[in-house]
Amino acid sequence: MNGLRAYRLDVPRLLADRGIDQIVAFTVPLTVRFRGIEVREGTLLHGPEGWGEWSPFWDYDPVESAAWLRAGIEGATQRLPAPRRDRVPINVTIPVVDTDRARTMAAESACKTAKVKVADPRSDLREDCQRVAAVREAMPDGAIRVDANAAWDVSTAVRAITELDAAAEGLEYVEQPCASVAELAQVRRKVTVPVAADESVRRAEDPLAVARAGAADLLVIKAQPLAGLSRALEVIDAAGLPVVVSSALDTSVGIGLATHLAAALPALDHACGLGTIRLFHGDVSASPLLPVDGYLVPRRGEVDVEIEEPDADLCPRWAQRLGLTVAALVERS
């Protein structure tokens, strides 16, 4: 069932001058509560190269949202980087669900890697370990990584990582166990499990600080927060660390652009977190970008949904937010 709804917005003059000729706001329910939300909202921008996506979360201010807008403009108006590979390995994302559902999601994914969400307020460490163990049962030969979304302090992280590593019979890595770069560096010195940085890259004024501090073994890269594929490639090159390209809970438009980022990397040693369309009750495309046998083929996501009459709640909110973000974009240009 496709629960997605789509509505047209007016195009601000500044975006029209940059080649944007359509903006579509969307809302789609999620299959499970994820990142504290049950409905995903955002906008899609159309330009001469196709569709881009601008879908910052509601807790992001206009300045932070401006980076996401740059990514949306770039996606719609700029050519994609040349690919180095014709398919991208994908992990299955396991939200905070019970063990039976976690086991089923992992088994049905056909992926060889699973990313398990942990450290959520709705789940304690014992339940997290049980969820990880259930995924291991479903994927006896697969790789398992966990994502704490910066929830722990250093001592809590060390204890939790040790227990989760045992439950997984070996973790591939732990993603963003703590909030600060200094804490990540401390954790990395205290555990044998590799540490990946996500929020310390995409929400940082200086996305390279974590690499300079030796605080991570690899980086999780999301194109929208880093202002698009071009800037993401610059950060990856400067950091000199292995990379996992991941979704910002994008539609097939954002996922499609991210697959091209992953396909353009000189090396890709880890499965990417781009299988999140499975978390949506619907998509903007009639041919959503869903992994097949654990892989995605890089392609642009198309938008082929029925455009409805403007929604009295959604459209004014996104129009106002767009105006504030465009102003922030101009100010920082």
Q: The CATH number of the domain where 43 resides is what?
A: 3.30.390.10
pLDDT cut 70: percent of the chain above it: 100
Instruction: Tell the burial category of 90 from Cβ atoms under 10 Å away from its Cβ (0-12, 13-18, 19+).
Output: buried
We report the CATH number of the domain holding residue 180 as 3.20.20.120
Asked if residue 264 and residue 201 are part of one domain, the reply reads yes
Asked if residue 276 and residue 191 are part of one domain, the reply reads yes
Domain total in the chain: 2
pTM, whole model, 2 decimals? 0.94
Number of Cβ within 10 Å of residue 48's Cβ equals 11
Asked if residue 127 and residue 39 are part of one domain, the reply reads no
Q: Has 147 been labeled as part of a binding site?
A: yes
Asked if residue 134 and residue 263 are part of one domain, the reply reads yes
Residues assigned a catalytic role: 117, 222
pLDDT confidence bin for 205, thresholds 50/70/90: confident
**pLDDT higher than threshold 70 for residue 1:** no
Tally helices (H) and strands (E) across the chain: 11, 14
| Mean pLDDT across the chain | 96
**pLDDT higher than threshold 70 for residue 54:** yes
pLDDT cut 90: percent of the chain above it: 95
CA distance 82 to 299: 12
**Domain range holding 215?**
88-296
Token digits for 174? 């732990």
Mean pLDDT of 50-79: 97
Q: Has 124 been labeled as part of a binding site?
A: no
Asked if residue 201 and residue 138 are part of one domain, the reply reads yes
**pLDDT higher than threshold 80 for residue 35:** no
